[in-house]
Structures are given as C-alpha cells and as structure tokens.
Amino acid sequence: MYSIRRRKLSFASVLIGLFSFSGPVFSQAPFYQGKTITVINGNAPGGTADMRMRAMLPFLKKHIPGEPTVVAEFMDGGGGRRLANHMYRNARPDGLTIGFPPGTFVAYGVLGETGVNYDVGKFVYLGAPESATNYVFLTRKAAGIDSLEKLRSTPGLRVGAQSVGHTIYVIGRLFAYTLRLKEPRFVVGYSGPEVDAALLRGEVDGRANIADTILTRTPEYFEKNIVDFHSIINIPLANKHPRFAHVPEIDRLLMSDGDRKLVELFRSLRLMGSPYILPPGASPERTQILRAAFRKIFDDPEFHKEYKKLVGDEPTPLGAEEVQRAIETLPREPSVIETFKLITSANPLPAR
C-alpha cells in the first residue's frame, strides 16, 4: 500500500515538473498582444506635430512587447487644453490611450488659465521626442519690413497662427510683445501649412515658425528670398541653428528685465517639448512597459532617420523623469506669470 502511494506521488511529481519546465508553451502572452493603442494628437493634421507623431507610431508597435496595432486620432483645440481635459477626465487609464497634446497644455496648467480642468502634476509622462527647438519670426518680403526699426514702427502688423493657445500662436505673441511691435493683430484659424499659404497671398504679414519646419516645408523662403527674418529664440539658449546664424537672437534685442524673464519662462516651458501622456491612475505595470518602449524608441537609429525624414530635424528626446522634473522646477514669479497669461490668451497684449 505504501509503495503504491509513493509511486503515484512520484508520477505526479514528474507531471508537475514537465508542466513547470514547459514555459514557452504555457507562458502568459504580453498584455498588448492583439490590443489596439490609440494615440490622440492635440494638434490639427498636416503640421509639424502631425509629422512628429507619424514618426513615432511604427516604432511604438516595434518596441512594445506584443506588437499592438497603433492608430492615430486628432483632438485639437484650446492650445492642448481640450485633449488634456479629455485625458484627465474621460480617457480610461488602461494603457491603451496615449495623449500627445501641444506643450502649451503644461503652461496653461501651471498658469491657472481658464478652461483647465486638469492637474499637470497628476498625468503620467512617457517622454518627449524633442526638447531643443529654434523659433523664428518672419514677415513677407512684399510688406517691405526689412529692418527691426520698420518692424517696430509699422502699425497693425497681421500675425498668422493656428488656434488661440497653440504654441505657434503663443510664440508669435511673445515675439510681438517683447520686440515691441506697434498694435499687432493676430489672425488665427489656420493649419500650419495654411499659415504659410496665407502669408504668400498677403492675408497675413508675418508669422513665427520652427526653424527646421521652414527649411523642410518652405525652402523657397531661402531659395527665392521672399521673406525677411527678424529674430530667433533658441531653446536651450546654447542651441544655435547654423542656417539661421544671421538672424539676431531675441536676447540681444530685449529692452527690459521683464521681457527677459518672459523669454526665460517660455524657454523653460518649451524645454520639455510636447510630452506623451497617460491619464492619471494609469497601471504602474503598463506605464513601465510603455516607458521602456519610449526609451528604446529614442535609442533606435531607425527612429532617428525616420524622424529626420518626416520632421526635418533630429529628435532631441527628453525622458519621463526629466519631463516631470522640468514641470516641478518651472519659474513661478507672479508678475511674470500674469503677463505671460495675457500673452497666451485671446485678450489684447499687455499695455506698455
């Protein structure tokens, strides 16, 4: 009797051992296998932010275990506030919805602007593909504004941009205020390429744009000499652009300490770029998977090639922890913040 039980136990032990060592057959499939991840872009289709997202999508599939399907949607409006509100209040924290709002959503959150129904400190950050940027302010050659003196003395200059609150709108207003333009007017409602077309048609007189976007999307500005370049903001300050070396840095043109602080606040905000986010309360396990995937993407030479091809400049990634640290250390001097809030709004620029 005893010997029979012992043989049965031994046989059972063998079976347990066989099942224990057959890991590849019985291992759990990755969570993302067979799933669909939706990446929501807080910008309109067709602009630089669209190209930045498109460069990312195939590499998300490549570097997330299980190779999920990755699809894109768009939810522009409010300079990123619409998407940020959606991610904060409506998106499920299941790791299947990733937000890519314009970086201004952070500024609106920190500045306590209207329409903000989110806390920037509670989002889960995955990283940003770009942290170094150069912004240029230009006017159409036909306007005859070929010097800083003419720029400052010409009343009612029409500055084109996307929506109120969009990064290009904010930087255009920052240029106009700190360069002390005379009663500038701001014309919005375009996509990025539509602002370029409006400039050539004479619907607007000037605009701000990213230096590399100018080189990629409108090379005729250089080739045909159809615009005048007036000033550039380098982010970070040491990030010089070789093709725009002849354009005066805004720091050399500022006329007050208050203007310098405004530019520095903008630099700090833009240093974190446009980060990818998950809703508050996202699963730590899935957050870890996605953050690891973002690190691999940023280290992938093929991603760098694709980004360069689509966007026109090299990615300058910022990791999740660096984005979080940048948010926590933003300048918060009340007078500077109040002025900056007016610059980012639809209200008239602050009086001098």
Question: Domain-by-domain residue ranges, the chain?
Answer: 36-130+272-334, 133-270
Can you list the pairs that 222-226 forms with residues at least 24 positions away whose Cβ atoms lie under 8 Å? 225/141, 226/140, 226/141, 226/142, 226/200
In this predicted structure, the answer to whether residue 23 has a pLDDT above a threshold of 70 is no
Lowest model confidence (mean pLDDT) among 59-68, 81-90, 225-234, 269-278: 269-278
Split at pLDDT 50, 70, 90, the class of 27 is low
Percent of the chain clearing pLDDT 90 (strictly above): 74
Residue 208 or 79, more confident: 208
Say whether 133-270 and 36-130+272-334 share the same fold: yes
pLDDT tens across 36-50, in order? 999 999 998 988 899
| C-alpha 248: how far from chain center | 25
| Residue percentage of the chain with pLDDT more than 70 | 92
Q: Are residues 348 and 177 in contact, defined by beta-carbon separation less than 8 angstroms?
A: no
Between helix 104-111 and helix 334-344 the angle, nearest 10°, is: 130
Domain 36-130+272-334, what architecture? 3-Layer(aba) Sandwich (3.40)
Quote the CA–CA distance of 214 and 231 in Å, as a whole number: 14
What is the model's pTM?
Answer: 0.69
Residue 33 confidence (pLDDT): 96
CATH of domain 133-270: 3.40.190.10
Tokens (6 digits) for 40: 């929501």
Q: Which of 279, 292, 6, 315 is nearest to 123 (CA)?
A: 279
